Amino acid sequence: MYKPKKIASVAVAAVLVAGLGLTPISSFANTSATDVPDTPVTITGVNDGDTVKFYQVFDADIDASNNLTYTTKVTGLPGAYDTAAEVAGKDGRTVADAIAPVVTAGTATYTATAAGGKVTQSLDSGLYLVTVTTTSGATKIYQTMLVNASPVVKNGQYAAATLENVEAKSQPVTPPNKTVVPADGSTSGKLTDSYSVGDTATFRIDTAVPSFPSDATHASFSVTDVPEAGLSLNKDSIKVYDGDGYKNPVGAESYEVVYNGDGGFTVKFKWDYLKGHAGQKVRVEYKSKVVSINVETGKVGNKAYGTFTPNPYEDKEVSTEPADPQVQTYGFVFKKVTPTGTALPGAEFTIANADGPVTYIDAAGNTHTDGKVVSDANGYVHVNGLHKGTYTVTETGVPAGYQKVDPFNISLDETDKGDSPATPNVTEKNFDVNTADVTDPKQGQLPTTGGAGTVAFTAGGVLLIAGGAVVVFRSRKRD
């Protein structure tokens, strides 16, 4: 399946060695009785598990007349590089980029997996194109390499070349840096406690466009966001920026937004944008509403990762390790009791801050938007999902026979790491546990009428009136 082209010239071999300065790898039987032994080479600078492929472009042989000849092993090479003579003396990087799309479309002569940060192998004589494909999670795109395993002249005879280690060169791929912007718009970070349940948080994903060669046959780059169940994406809020300070909106024609079944999304950059913006910093910004939290930690977050083509001549994608920023919330709990210390259920409180009644999550995981919470059968008042700050607690519903307490304040911050006793089946790590019970005093006794003393006074008055009537009657009879 190839077109053999031979060049009988010792000079060609010399120029290949001197001009391309390349290197070799893989074990094949010699093709003639006068062939030289295979040439070992070591590729360094690779990660364990990386796939290294060697494609023989030109096969080198020693013919019966002791001439060094080359046979083209790849069909369809560009006209300027389809013979060893045309390749000799040219810049190796230029040659590799020019022939890579055609060469890598075929089957590799040898494939190996890196271990210990290197690959060592023996190569039959000739010129090879070498590719390295990173494993999942690695953040680099390797350049193609030319390895020249042509025979050299030693003591007037052809012999296998002695090759130095070849270090694989690569371009870094910037893994997405996912942050959440505090509510006051200050510097974003991996964690913020400035949002409560019901608030809308701003998230940012910062990365950079990988560098792909202009003739890449496979080049892709995308950013994916995977939210936890507690976040609700605002699809209209997704924006993409590039440039210094991320002030320049990227045109919608340069990327595609795909919404995923998990409530997240993927921004896929198009090839025209990628090839014109190698190394360009990119930011994806969007908003999500906090609708629920992890009741044990008080947190909710989402992961972001990048997906790219590690080998621009191979139809394969890998993903970076995900970044995972989170929103941190807090809760508080206190016990409502009678003056004798007995639990007092049914007392209603309203929780508010400077903006009014809050949205919170109760002990059962339900969301309330009116700020009202009622003490449970054990007297506990349990409130979760609040951001850092100070809250006013006001008793707005008093059980019969008791008086309400004066309003009081509770402050929440990162020091609150207690476990709420109102939820014995859940171990929280974000609660302010008020050890002082909140006591409703008994309703005071007001003055009343109709008591025993009143009856006594009434009876005495009746007797006095009756006695007066008798005196008057006797006086009239005497007259």
Tell me what pLDDT residue 174 has.
86
Query: Which of 172, 193, 222 marks a domain boundary?
Result: 172
Phi/psi at 191 (nearest 5 deg)? -145, 140
Query: Which of 138, 172, 206 marks a domain boundary?
Result: 172
**Residue 5 within a domain:** no
Q: Write out the two tokens for 100.
A: 């890579």
Q: Look up the pTM and report it.
A: 0.79
| Pair type for strands 191-192 and 326-328 | parallel
Tell me what pLDDT residue 449 has.
55
**Is the CB of residue 81 less than 8 Å from the CB of residue 92?**
no
Tell me what pLDDT residue 16 has.
52
**Range of 416's domain?**
330-439
**CATH code, 71:** 2.60.40
CA–CA separation, 358 and 164 (whole Å): 69
**Is the CB of residue 366 less than 8 Å from the CB of residue 390?**
no
**Residue 89 within a domain:** yes
User: Do 134 and 226 belong to one domain?
Assistant: no
User: Do 235 and 374 belong to one domain?
Assistant: no
User: Do 18 and 158 belong to one domain?
Assistant: yes
User: Do 315 and 391 belong to one domain?
Assistant: no
User: Do 31 and 156 belong to one domain?
Assistant: yes
User: Do 203 and 99 belong to one domain?
Assistant: no
User: Do 219 and 147 belong to one domain?
Assistant: no
Tell me what pLDDT residue 476 has.
46
**Residue 241 within a domain:** yes
Q: Which residue has the tokens 């006051």?
A: 184
- Tell me, what amino acid is at 114? A
**Residue 29 within a domain:** yes
User: Do 231 and 131 belong to one domain?
Assistant: no
Tell me what pLDDT residue 214 has.
85
**Residue 147 within a domain:** yes
| Pair type for strands 221-227 and 360-361 | unpaired
Phi/psi at 234 (nearest 5 deg)? -95, 100
Side-chain half-sphere of 410: how many Cα atoms within 13 Å?
26
| Cα maximum dimension of the chain | 181
**CATH code, 349:** 2.60.40.10
Domain count, the chain: 4
Tell me what pLDDT residue 280 has.
93
Kindly report the three-state secondary structure assignment for every residue of the chain.
CCCCCECCCHHHHHHHHHHHCCCCCCCCCCCCCCCCCCEEEEEECCCCCCEEEEEEEEEEEECCCCCEEEEECCCCCCHHHCCHHHHCCCCHHHHHHHHHHHHCCCCCCEEEECECCEEEEEECCEEEEEEEECCCECCEEECCEEEECCCEEECCEEECCCCCCEECCEEECCCCEEEEECCCCCCCECEECCCCCCCEEEEEEEEECCCCCCCCCCCCEEEEEEECCCEEEEEEEEEEEECHHHCEECCHHHEEEEECCCCCEEEEECHHHHHHCCCCEEEEEEEEEECCCCCCCCEEEEEEEEEECCCCCCCCCEEECCECCEEECEEEEEEEECCCCCECCCCEEEEEECCEECCEECCCCCEECCCEEECCCCCEEEEEEECCEEEEEEEEECCCCECCCCCEEEEECCCCCECCCCCCCCCCCCEEECCCCEECCECCCCCCCCCHHHHHHHHHHHHHHHHHHHHHHHHHHHC
Other beta carbons within 10 Å of 338 = 17
Partnered with residue 153 across adjacent β-strands are 158
User: Do 272 and 210 belong to one domain?
Assistant: yes
User: Do 393 and 467 belong to one domain?
Assistant: no
**Residue 231 within a domain:** yes
Query: Which of 309, 326, 343 marks a domain boundary?
Result: 326
**Residue 3 within a domain:** no
**Is the CB of residue 422 less than 8 Å from the CB of residue 343?**
no
Per-residue pLDDT tens listing for the chain (479 residues):
333 333 333 334 343 544 454 333 333 334 445 678 899 999 999 999 999 999 999 999 998 888 899 999 999 999 999 999 999 999 999 999 999 999 999 999 999 999 999 999 899 999 999 999 988 667 789 999 999 999 999 888 899 988 999 999 998 888 999 999 999 999 889 999 999 999 999 999 999 999 998 889 999 999 999 999 999 999 999 999 998 889 899 999 999 999 999 899 999 999 999 998 999 999 999 999 999 999 999 999 999 999 999 999 999 999 988 889 999 999 999 999 999 999 999 999 999 999 999 999 999 999 999 999 999 999 999 999 999 999 999 999 999 999 999 999 999 999 999 999 999 999 999 999 998 999 989 986 656 555 444 444 444 444 444 455 444 444 444 44
**Residue 444 within a domain:** no
Side-chain half-sphere of 211: how many Cα atoms within 13 Å?
9
Q: Is 463 exposed, middle or buried (0-12, 13-18, 19+ CB in 10 A)?
A: exposed
**CATH code, 211:** 2.60.40.740
User: Do 348 and 300 belong to one domain?
Assistant: no
User: Do 92 and 219 belong to one domain?
Assistant: no
- Collect all residues with Cβ–Cβ distance below 8 Å to 410 and sequence separation of at least 6: 332, 390, 391, 393, 432, 434
